[in-house]
Structure 1
Amino acid sequence: MKIALTGATGQLGRLVVAILKEKTAAEHIVALVRSATKAADLGVDVREADYEQPETLTAALNGVDTLLLISGNEIGKRAAQHKNVIEAAQKAGVTWIVYTSLLHADTSTISLAGEHLATEALLAESGIPYTLLRNGWYTENYTGSIAGAVAGGAFLGSAGNGKISSAARQDFAEAAAVVLTTEGHQGKTYELAGDQAYTLTDLAAEMSKQTGKDIPYKNLPEGEYAAVLASFGIPEGFAHAIAGWDVSVAKGDLFDEGRQLSTLIGRPTTPLAETVAAALAAL
């Protein structure tokens, strides 16, 4: 059986490939990438495939049984790109698709939810058995801002006291690999989130504890936070999107206590303190 995955050279994709290699033979894994040179170190079958060129997708999926469709990173283009992948999978005879969606995509106010829901609908219409991995936030989405917070003396956001049930990217990668290599997952939707929820105030307190510095959380109005992000060089549209996601956090859109992620991987999800420590060690 051949397992292929899109976005194999991305941050999540690389982790999934590494875990899959521990669970199955490398020759059973197919990495679908835009640039083969970037995937030379993966140690698996590498095939070039471009979301915008459907003919490359069909050829790359030849002989593939199972496909992990890791959602693309081009916001605004993802629904169309995923449609191309799903149609190529139909033509190539793929028998199962596992898709990385968004936590509670059907009720979330996060702006990203729309494209995920559109992809879920395409999967339902495709006739191919599928599984939805509705991933919550990666803790790294926030710890990536630690350097700036340490330098600036505060952690900024617009999430209020919203609880965030995030987990480390490694946890989500492990869940994907488990689903891909074990039975009984077709037709299921998994709401995947961390075991222990926290607020951005809690995150700032953990950063303060580990650095020995006073780094408070400063909650800003959405527009002000977007303006600050733009002043750091983040494109204005993306800055507004990030600030908007925080507002959705304040509404509880990233909170979940079902513990489906830790159940899938057979262990507790990675603690916040551990991911903060890793981020600080990388500075």
Structure 2
Amino acid sequence: MSSTSPTVFVTAAGGQLGRRTVTALLERIAPDRVIAGLRNLDSEAAAQFRARGVAVRLADYDRPDTLAAAFEGIDRLLLISSNEIGQRVQQHGNAIEAARGAGIGMLAYTSVLRADRSSLAPAEEHRQTERILRESGLPHVLLRNGWYSENYTASIPSALTHQALIGSAGTGRIAAAARADYAEAAAVVLTDAGQGTAEIYELAGDEAFTLADFAAEIARASGRPIAYRDLPEAAYRDILLGAGLPAPLAALIAGSDAAAAEGALFDDGHALSRLIGRPTTPFAASIEKALAG
């Protein structure tokens, strides 16, 4: 761990991807080269980062003044996309403008798989963010992440209760990978001295599965009968609404499944495993981990 390593800033560091990225960075560079951006400096995440020797700074996408101060003296920045659907373009624009003003040497942005042509509902906000990045003149890298395996393992408790996994993905193949895989890829890009800019990485898992495959693996690993029940997009959305999900999120999940049925979440380029230097986490391993609690 060299003292000449770049100073790396991770936005939204308290989130699930952010925390994993900080952990992956600490395996590559010294803690004093890592800075975690948080909206709450009194949070549990902030205390945990400080205990590991990682500095924390206030960084709120909705408060440009905090971003300008947070990015001072930073060499490389990971802009983790916001989870506030409908607000992302403005929030990301705030961060990009602050990064430009701070003279950051490279910004890596977590976009979505094939954002430029994807039919996924979230892709439009990512396309607009990518455009803002291009027009900013900032040296940048696009980490176009596929879906997280955890998006599906979160449904395991319900599947076990009802003995069914529901969705609208048909026989579409989904090349998901674990969050830790994507976090490691981000850490590699942020710390590689030879990393170029204007790079685009289409990142996805080595292994693709259908939701029927996923249900069968839950059944095998749990020893309980689980079947996949495919539904029309509207019916699936209504079930999600009935389960208490906010309307925008229910529409996003159901719509993403419908897009997956048409191949929007499949990729066989293996860019992710090449970047991290190992195979991506098999979906069976993610299911085993989820079942183990």
Q: What's the TM-score once normalised by structure 2's chain length?
A: 0.95
Structure 2 gaps, min length 5: 1-5
1:222 maps onto 2:204 in alignment: no
1:9 maps onto 2:9 in alignment: no
| 1:167 match | 177
**Which of 168, 172, 180 is the aligned partner of 1:158?**
168
1:59 maps onto 2:66 in alignment: no
1:120 maps onto 2:125 in alignment: no
- 3-state SS of paired residue (2:166): strand
- 3-state SS of paired residue (2:198): coil
Following the alignment from structure 1 to structure 2, what is the Cα–Cα distance between the partners of residues 174 and 185? 17
Following the alignment from structure 2 to structure 1, what is the Cα–Cα distance between the partners of residues 77 and 191? 12
| 2:213 match | 202
Give the counterpart letter for 2:114 in structure 1: H
- 3-state SS of paired residue (2:172): coil
Cα deviation digits, residues 50-97 of structure 1 (max 9, x gap): 111111100011101110001011011011000000000111111110
Matches within 5 A, 1:64-79: 64-79=74-89
1:233 maps onto 2:258 in alignment: no
- 3-state SS of paired residue (2:142): strand
| 2:148 match | 138
1:87 maps onto 2:97 in alignment: yes
Percent of matched pairs sharing the same residue:
52
- 3-state SS of paired residue (1:122): helix
1:279 maps onto 2:290 in alignment: yes
Cα deviation digits, residues 226-275 of structure 1 (max 9, x gap): 11111111112321221111000001000000000000000000001100
| 1:107 match | 117
Cα deviation digits, residues 79-136 of structure 1 (max 9, x gap): 1000000000111111110000000011110010011011111110111110000000
Structure 1 residue ranges, 4+ long, deviating more than 6 angstroms after superposition? none
Structure 1 gaps, min length 5: none
1:186 maps onto 2:235 in alignment: no
* Structure 2 contact 122–252 (Cα < 8 Å) conserved: no
Following the alignment from structure 2 to structure 1, what is the Cα–Cα distance between the partners of residues 7 and 26? 12
Q: What's the TM-score once normalised by structure 1's chain length?
A: 0.98
Q: How many residues end up aligned between the 2 structures?
A: 282
Moved more, 183-192 or 243-252: 183-192
Question: What displacement does 1:161 show?
Answer: 0.2
Root mean square deviation, CA, Å = 0.8
